[in-house]
């Protein structure tokens, strides 16, 4: 059970749990590959450093939790220290979708939720326009 499920209040239900798009992991894997090639030229033992980097990058990416409930928008991230943000739907002021050219082709982007005194960015999520639409429909 994740952070969002554990912290629901009475009468609150989960509408969506949003995971990071696979492109985020691809970046970590490509960086590991480049580091491995470079380190292998120096000394093959340094390839272990690249593998540790890969494991760390994937682990960090899996700590992100994005969620939408019938009452709020929630973001949680962190391994050792944990950071959380939330915006109640009645305090939500605006939603913005940012998508690069590659993001449009591969179907990922960022959704930025601005609320009273707080901003939450859902980074590298699949189908950001559908997520935005889902939040707008809840708010209506």
pLDDT in tens, 16-46: 999 888 777 777 777 777 777 777 777 777 7
* Radius of gyration (C-alpha) of the chain in whole angstroms: 18
Q: Which two tokens stand for residue 52?
A: 């540790």
CATH class of 15-139: mainly beta
Per-block mean pLDDT, blocks of 10 residues, the chain (140 long): 87 92 76 75 73 77 88 90 92 95 94 94 94 90
| pTM for this model (two decimals) | 0.80
């Amino acid at each position: 059970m994740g952070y969002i499920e554990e912290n629901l209040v009475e009468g609150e239900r989960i509408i969506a749990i949003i995971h990071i798009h696979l492109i985020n992991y691809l970046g970590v894997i490509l960086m590991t590959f480049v580091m491995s090639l470079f380190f292998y030229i120096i000394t093959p033992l340094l390839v272990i450093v690249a593998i540790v980097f890969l494991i760390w990058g994937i682990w960090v990416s899996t700590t992100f939790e994005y969620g939408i409930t019938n009452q709020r928008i929630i973001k949680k991230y962190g391994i050792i220290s944990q950071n959380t943000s939330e915006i109640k739907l009645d305090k939500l002021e605006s939603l913005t979708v940012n998508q690069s050219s590659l993001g449009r082709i591969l179907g990922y982007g960022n959704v930025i939720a601005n609320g009273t005194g707080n901003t939450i960015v859902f980074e590298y999520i699949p189908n950001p326009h559908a997520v935005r639409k889902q939040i707008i429909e809840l708010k209506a």
